Amino acid sequence: MKKIFMAIASLALACGIGVAAVGCGGGDAINVYNRESGSGTRDAFLELLGIKDTDLVSAGAGLSTTGAVLNAVMDDPNGIGYISLGSLDDSVKAVSIDGVEPTVANVVSKEYTVWRPFEMMYQKATYESNDLLREFVEFLESKEAQDAITVYGYVSTKTDAAAYTVPDSLTVTELDIGGSTSVQSLMSQDSDAGDPCLITVFEELLAAKDITVDISYEGTGSGTGRQNAVNGTYDIGFASSEVSEEDMKKEEGDGHTWDGTIYQLCADGIAIIVNTENTVTNLTTEQLKNIYTGVVENWSDLNA
């Protein structure tokens, strides 16, 4: 009887009963899900935690989209991953970091420290010659755009935005934009609840004056967003991590040079997600770093 009691007590400790930072997740081994190299979410996540690419756990799967990480963790009781806060749904569970929940309010107050900017990049010459690009950039700074950003669960960085003024006409009717897959849903995918994405809001405003435009967003990753903003493939490139002039200069080549504008569209938290069966509710920054560098390989090791 004593042995049975000891076994139960050991299992309780391993599963973290009464300890929010530990969960068995249906098993003990931690399955780490990562984003692919070139992902802005990955770049921001590693920078915020102070992790070098070379220190990442080698067993961690590198997935190409936000949706792929969501699906992997949803199907894996032992899984852990990270996604855009704006893409979070109830198919997975977001854990607190250092006792702070990943919410828009906590990102705004900066109490939740795992967050990053959504950046947009475009060439000045293209901006000057393309009236649709100028209008779209003006719209993205407007009250209508900021309202849509907030509805989608992202953090508006403009508190005094003015209403958008629709032009009487446009000479350019098509824009090719793209980059970060984290930005993609906000920019080009209406929500399941029927909330319009930014492109839809813009097109509906123009339609009031019988102006029809075609803006297509290609989700190729932040690295490609930077590269294609420089070489002209995209009229606007998007990245889900901070972008500097030095970053853009690195993308020069084949006769293409960077002379453009980098603008912060909004801010976004990075949610750390686990399977809904996992008992974990909180991780410290140090525990999260140890998981992603392979120092901690089992959920029960978090108690050590």
Pair 240, 132 in one domain: yes
Residues 95 and 156 in one domain: no
**Residue where the block lists tokens 């220190």:** 55
Q: Are residues 152 and 259 in the same domain?
A: yes
Q: Which pLDDT belongs to residue 27? A: 57
| Band of pLDDT at residue 21, cut at 50, 70 and 90 | very low
Range of the domain at 217: 117-267
User: What tokens does 126 get?
Assistant: 């293209």
pTM of the model: 0.77
Asked if residue 279 and residue 210 are part of one domain, the reply reads: no
Residue 233 falls within a domain, yes or no? yes
Question: Lowest-confidence range among 124-128, 149-153, 261-265?
Answer: 149-153
Res. 15: pLDDT tops 70:
no
The reply to whether 226 falls in a domain is yes
Tally of structural domains, the chain:
2
Residues 106, 64 share a domain: yes
Give a yes or no: residue 12 inside a domain: no
Please tell me the distance from the alpha carbon of residue 28 to that of residue 23, in angstroms, as a whole number. Answer: 8
Inside any domain, residue 196: yes
Let me know whether 182 and 87 are in one domain: no
- Residue 246 counted as domain residue: yes
Q: Both 34 and 110 in a single domain? A: yes
Q: Each residue of 52-65: pLDDT tens digit?
A: 989 998 766 789 88
11-36 residues labelled b (16+ CB within 10 A) or e (exposed): eeebbbeebebbbbbeeeebbbbbbb
CATH number of the domain at 76, please.
Answer: 3.40.190.10
Same domain, 197 and 241: yes
Tens of pLDDT along 74-89?
A: 999 999 999 999 889 9
Residue 145, phi-psi category: left (phi > 0), alpha (psi -120 to 50), beta (remainder): alpha
pLDDT at 62: 86
